[in-house]
Amino acid sequence: MHLDFLQGDFSEPGLALWSSKNFHLRIYLCVLSAAQVNDAVFSFDESHFATCSEDGSLRVWTTYSYELVVQFQVLNQACGCVCWSPASIKDHTRVAAGYGDGTLRIFQLASTEMEIKMHPHQVAVTAIQYSAFGHVIVSAGRNGLVAVSSPTDGATLRLIRDHKGATITTVQCVNEQCKKFGLEGNEMWLAASADRRVSVWAADWTKEKCDLLDWLSFPAPAPSQDDSLPPSIAAFSPEDHSLVVYTGYGAEKELLFYSLSKKQVITFSLFLFSIQWSPEPTRSRCCQEISSFV
């Protein structure tokens, strides 16, 4: 089975869908906007993907016919990030998005309507993710504050300040029993910030529990003022959630694999960055921006 991935330099109003079987361009999607694309995310069954843009538009596409299904538009606000509701939410599929004014919006695809708007941040939202079971939404702002919000009533349930001062570039949530790590919880989540730090958390949102499981800090030389730095990207391995995959700026172009159970780092040479694992372990996709360190 061959794999597909999305590519975009996020300064152009388009996305390319490539085949990893022969690295031939399958289709180029014009997003019908003069604004740059800020995020692109596949649904959990990979039947659709969503894109959001600087002009405040959020678009949902079919993966296999590349057709535009629905578009949601917010005026005068950039849409910086988007995520899908997890497969555990059975009633209706939703997409949630973060905007430049610090707001979050949840849209239901079946009704093509906005369900709720919430305002947990005072700055632009840079990352957003439903928890593994959909009980909460974890979002992060440009100032490094992480908010945990209720998707039903919009209440801000918790603010996490551990990354304060550094832009959060990645948030991911996975279903995982945490007893083997010595903490109570039925899911884990992580946040990665621009200062090459990654926090990993054990949570059980039904019991209002959220505890820090591990704190990773990857050293790097001080960048010059002229450097355009790649983002810090972290993800749980889909086959083994105790393995955290990280890449970002540093002295070497490398992927870092960190074992939460062994507290050990393994490094690999890398010329690509900004990868996102597919939810299906056998069909890993590279999404969002795929570029070389040049």
Interval 74-124: pLDDT, tens: 999 999 999 999 987 777 899 999 999 999 999 999 999 999 999 999 999
Radius of gyration of the chain (CA): 18
Domain boundaries, the chain: 4-229
The tokens for 90 are: 């059975």
Three-state DSSP class for residue 81: strand
Three-state DSSP class for residue 118: strand
In SS3 terms, 166-178 reads as CCEEEEEEEECCC
Report pLDDT for 191. 98
- Dist CA 143 CA 122 (whole Å): 9
- Dist CA 253 CA 293 (whole Å): 7
Q: Which residues contact 242 (CB under 8 A, 6 or more apart)?
A: 180, 181, 259, 260, 261
Residue 62 has pLDDT above 60, yes or no: yes
CB contact burial 206-223 (16+ within 10 A = b; e otherwise)? eeeebeebbebebeeeee
Helix-strand-coil percent breakdown of the chain, rounded to 5?
Answer: 5, 45, 50
- Dist CA 21 CA 109 (whole Å): 32
Q: Compare 183 and 2 and report the one with higher pLDDT.
A: 183
Residues 229-276: tens digit of each pLDDT: 778 899 999 989 999 999 887 777 778 899 999 999 876 655 444 444
* DSSP calls for 171-237: EEEEE---GGGTS--SEEEEEEETTTEEEEEEEEGGGTEEEEEEEEE---PPPPTT--PPPPEEEE-
For 283, list phi and psi in degrees, rounded to 5.
-135, 55
Report pLDDT for 271. 47
pTM of the model: 0.81
- Dist CA 68 CA 241 (whole Å): 33
Tokens 């002295």, residue? 251
Report pLDDT for 3. 41
Report pLDDT for 168. 96
Least confident of 117-126, 151-160, 168-177, 227-236: 227-236
Report pLDDT for 15. 56
- Computed over every residue of the chain, the mean pLDDT equals 83
Report pLDDT for 199. 98
Residues 228-237: tens digit of each pLDDT: 677 889 999 9
Report pLDDT for 27. 52
- Dist CA 147 CA 118 (whole Å): 11
Residues 18-51: tens digit of each pLDDT: 444 444 445 555 544 567 889 999 998 889 999 9
What type of residue sits at position 214? D
- Measured at the alpha carbon of residue 176, what is the angle toward residues 170 and 177, in degrees to the nearest 5? 140
Average pLDDT on 125-140 reads 97
Residue 181 has pLDDT above 50, yes or no: yes
Residue 4 has pLDDT above 60, yes or no: no
* Topology of domain 4-229, CATH: Methylamine Dehydrogenase; Chain H (2.130.10)
- Dist CA 20 CA 6 (whole Å): 10
Question: pLDDT band for position 9 (50/70/90)?
Answer: very low
DSSP 13: S
Q: Compare 242 and 9 and report the one with higher pLDDT.
A: 242
The tokens for 159 are: 């603010």
